[in-house]
Amino acid sequence: MAKLDTNEKSMPEGAEEPGRRDFMVVATYAMMGLGAASVAWPLIDQLNPAADTLALANIEVDISKIAVGQSITVKWRGKPVFIRHRTTDEIARANATDLMDLRDPQMDKARAEKPEYLVLVGVCTHLGCVPLGQKTGEVKGDYDGWFCPCHGSHYDTSGRIRKGPAPTNLEVPPYDFLSDTVIRIG
């Protein structure tokens, strides 16, 4: 567009003319940019989860079979979800913890809808490994919750980070109790 000065030379009364020309050039580029952006959006947005993927985004789980002190792991959105039926001792210890001792302070009440059942996304908040502690006999870490073997993060009986490199507590997924024995995650 800079080359339009050819015209300026042959246009003695020039001053006002190039202004008008510049406006048209800028307007043209602006419209082309707008057009390109509005075409780019669908091409990028198609990378997001499709409608059928979103439709699978919630699951229902029967929790009546989990004995006190036991945990189950279910798959939700391609990730493990831990459901632990906690013992009264575990609940008591989670409640007794001083918030000042926590890296990511959060009350146990805020993390479990019913204190007996703790529902967590089983993905370490450090770099995404699955922590140990679900099966009997697995290491549960220094705080009797979960232990991530990848880089050594320890979580307590409320799934809160206590020691190691992970920055935040294990995430609590959105869930509801559909009845006393069935929860819907997602």
Taking the complex as a whole, the smallest distance from the CB of residue 129 to ligand FES amounts, in Å, to 4
Using CA atoms in the order 96, 173, 81, 54, what is the torsion angle rounded to 10 degrees? 180
Taking the complex as a whole, the smallest distance from the CB of residue 43 to another protein amounts, in Å, to 6
| 151 belongs to the catalytic site | yes
3-state DSSP call for residue 31? helix
Interface residues with another protein (CB under 8 A) are 1, 3-4, 6-7, 9-11, 17, 28, 32, 42-43, 45-48, 50-53
Interface residues with ligand FES (CB under 6 A) are 124, 126-129, 148, 150-153, 164-166
Taking the complex as a whole, the smallest distance from the CB of residue 131 to ligand FES amounts, in Å, to 6
Handedness of CA 86, 92, 93, 96 (dihedral sign): positive
By beta-carbon proximity to ligand FES, the closer residue of 33 and 152 is 152
**Alpha helices (H) along the chain:** 5-9, 16-45, 51-55, 88-96
